[in-house]
Structure 1
Amino acid sequence: MTSARLGFNARISFPTGGAAQALRDGIELFRVAEQLGYDTGWVYQRHFDNYLASPLVFHAAVAQHTDRIGLGTAIIGVRYEDPILLAEAAATADLLSSGRLQLGLGTGQGGFDSVFGQEPNDGREQSQTRLAAFLRAVRGEQVGVVGDLAGMVATGTELTVRPTSPGLGDRVWYGAGSVASAERVGRQGLRLLLSTILSGQIDDYGAELARAIKTYHSVHPATSPAQVAVARSVLPATSPELRRRYAAYDEERRTQGPAASRPQGALAPTAGPPARFTMSPVHHGDPSEVLDQLLADPSVALADDLIAFLPPAFGLRENLRLLEDIATTVAPHLGWVPSAPA
């Protein structure tokens, strides 16, 4: 960690019927994480499932209960987002949080084209088209002109998104799961979010991510900030009970892949890790063992931000214990210093 920034990624998952409590617990998670000195907290978007669907609305609420912690999205899938509406919502959330939004975007989950009123398409290509339109909008560039002769605004009037939030355009991240996609993000001048799932069968996960980071930096222009975040399952066991719990989660993730640690009532994906993907390792054991594993990972050393991925089915009490243990037993030995109150 070159600048020793520490974050966490919470799924904000809920059992069927428990969404309201899960959202309140999510706000409490951010509030306590800020007290522990975490630099950022990230949330994930997932449609039609027992997970958070509207990260920007959630962060607008979190902003009213916190003062300093960065509010990240990892990720919002742009394939189903209207670029202008997304820019409006992002700017509003950023202004409400006094410029704390870290906006992570990506292609996102597929399979819902018809539900969103779209013809089946190449999600990656469509995402890139919508990303370009979003970047123009969020940076305050012209997005169109008035063409309705019957309107109250003069025909030909230039249109820009309002409100805009100064600096938000430089805090846009994009998710990548391969060296090639990391290179594309670098050429676009965006910040890089490296996924916990890589494309293809990878023998050395950390080495592959290190390649992606080096490639990203080699092509990133000097006109915008270059920043890299890596996400890891970091589970330091500070009791025998936690050691057993974390080992069981590791086994579940190894055997079930994306289906692991899902809340009651959630949609069940195909069991087992797909052969075309490689899941990130779970770093668990005594704090010293976890630290050694992270120190041996070349991508962690190259990253600006380490994001601790919280198991989706963990409840508030489990997650708070995990955040505290990471902040006190592992992160300081990686060079991290807790952020001071605002």
Structure 2
Amino acid sequence: MSAEQHLQRLGFLTIGLFDPQDPAAGHESTLEIIELGERLGFDSAWLRHRHLQFGISSPIAVMAAASQRTTRIELGTAVTPMGWENPLRLAEDFATVDILSNGRINPGLSVGTPMDYDTIQHVLYPNTAELEDFSKARVDLFNRLIAGEPVRELSGKRGVVEEFSNRIEPHSPGLRERLWYGAGSMDSAMWAGEHGMNLLTSSVIFPQEDDTPDFAEVQAQQIQAFRAATAKHTPSAPARVSQGLVVIPTDSATTAQKAKYQAYVDERTPRTEKPQGPRNMLFAKDLIGTSEEIAEQLHAHAGYQQVTEVAFALPFSFDHEDYVQILTDIAHRLGPLLGWHPSV
């Protein structure tokens, strides 16, 4: 890709924040934001998955609701942590909502031990906590189930009315090609390509020991490795890549909004200045300013230069009217500057 590459797909990502004293209002706000996204011409809306927090814990349920209030916009998760899930049951849920949405679902997945596992394992896996496999094998099984591979030999009619299948039902053709893996390391990016998944890359990555501590360069290298792995191992796979940076255009923002947005960015900026933690995690800088300023920064970003679709992340702690302003500016100003045209 080049800096002149036109953006083909524009999406956004939200955590679906809510007040624990009034969770219905927060979930309704998320649904209204997705409806707004469709009206503005966005190609996709993505939901974060948050357990035991004040964000969406069941994106699939929210996507099912959103699918009945929209007709075109694609709906995805970025990401569903598989450590919390049973692959067979999750495959049934995703396939069901994909059918309800007429094929608009994009499951994004990740692996790893659930956060603070020692505090919840007695409830999540009361009898198997020490035996659970949180490796990529969990995603591989999910992928095969979505593809329609047999679960068992048993199938056919039993008795007068009951009929059984040997695969998960409903089966949703095309869903397997819309599975994404949330990768932040070189190994994970290559694994996604080797297994025919699309790649979600975000504002957090894990460099290799000899990598430069330059977020954009490392991200670009991971994307290139993903595409090479896809071409070698699963050449028929779609091999889509979506980038998810935090982008805050201020074109139509009020003075108060601009001050709030800048304070948010200032608080988060120090963590972007050097690698963090034992794995030398790199955070991308939040992009704030006019659409012209943000477009200039994106065109100079080595990671962005490798993609033709994005899912810009909405800041976690803003208000509904802030998201309306940000999404409107992205759709009306920033998107066109990146060569994007709204879907209708």
TM-score (norm 1): 0.87
How does 1:118-137 map onto structure 2 within 5 Å?
118-120=128-130, 126-137=134-145
Find the counterpart in structure 2 of residue 253 from structure 1. 268
| Letter aligned with residue 173 of structure 2 | P
| Letter aligned with residue 293 of structure 1 | Q
Q: Are residues 1:330 and 2:327 paired?
A: no
Find the counterpart in structure 2 of residue 298 from structure 1. 302
How does 1:261-300 map onto structure 2 within 5 Å?
274=277, 276-300=280-304
**SS of residue in 2 equivalent to 1:38:** coil
- Distance apart, 1:273 and its partner CA: 5.8
Find the counterpart in structure 1 of residue 122 from structure 2. 114
Structure 1: which 5+ residue stretches go unaligned? 258-271
- What is the rounded CA distance, in whole Å, between the counterparts of 2:333 and 2:263 in structure 1? 21
Find the counterpart in structure 1 of residue 192 from structure 2. 185
Deviation string, structure 1 residues 25-53 (Cα, Å, up to 9, x no partner): 11100001100000000001111111111
How does 1:30-41 map onto structure 2 within 5 Å?
30-41=34-45
- What is the rounded CA distance, in whole Å, between the counterparts of 2:326 and 2:130 in structure 1? 41
Deviation string, structure 1 residues 1-46 (Cα, Å, up to 9, x no partner): 5552100000001122121111111110000110000000000111
Of 180, 205, 229, which residue of structure 2 is paired with 1:198?
A: 205
- What is the rounded CA distance, in whole Å, between the counterparts of 1:33 and 1:127 in structure 2? 35
* Equivalences, count: 318
Of 310, 317, 322, which residue of structure 2 is paired with 1:313?
A: 317
Q: Are residues 1:140 and 2:148 paired?
A: yes
- What is the rounded CA distance, in whole Å, between the counterparts of 1:204 and 1:2 in structure 2? 24
- What is the rounded CA distance, in whole Å, between the counterparts of 1:158 and 1:30 in structure 2? 35
- What is the rounded CA distance, in whole Å, between the counterparts of 2:84 and 2:154 in structure 1? 25
Task: Summarize the Cα distance change of 1:202–1:178 in structure 2 as closer, same or farther, 3 Å threshold.
Answer: farther
Deviates more, 1:323-332 or 1:194-203: 194-203
- What is the rounded CA distance, in whole Å, between the counterparts of 2:105 and 2:169 in structure 1? 17
How does 1:236-251 map onto structure 2 within 5 Å?
236-238=249-251, 239=253, 240-251=255-266
**SS of residue in 1 equivalent to 2:236:** coil
Q: Are residues 1:209 and 2:219 paired?
A: yes
- Between the aligned residues of both structures, percent identity stands at 31
Find the counterpart in structure 2 of residue 260 from structure 1. none
Task: Work out whether residues 4 and 334 of structure 1, in 8 Å CA contact, stay in contact via their aligned partners in 2.
Answer: no
Find the counterpart in structure 2 of residue 54 from structure 1. 58
RMSD: 2.3
- Distance apart, 1:142 and its partner CA: 0.3
- Distance apart, 1:202 and its partner CA: 5.9
Find the counterpart in structure 2 of residue 234 from structure 1. 247
Find the counterpart in structure 1 of residue 172 from structure 2. 165
**SS of residue in 2 equivalent to 1:144:** coil
Task: Summarize the Cα distance change of 1:196–1:339 in structure 2 as closer, same or farther, 3 Å threshold.
Answer: same
TM-score (norm 2): 0.86
Task: Summarize the Cα distance change of 1:84–1:237 in structure 2 as closer, same or farther, 3 Å threshold.
Answer: same
**SS of residue in 1 equivalent to 2:49:** coil
Deviates more, 1:199-208 or 1:227-236: 199-208
- Distance apart, 1:255 and its partner CA: 4.5
- What is the rounded CA distance, in whole Å, between the counterparts of 2:325 and 2:276 in structure 1? 28
Task: Summarize the Cα distance change of 1:3–1:236 in structure 2 as closer, same or farther, 3 Å threshold.
Answer: closer
Task: Summarize the Cα distance change of 1:325–1:158 in structure 2 as closer, same or farther, 3 Å threshold.
Answer: closer
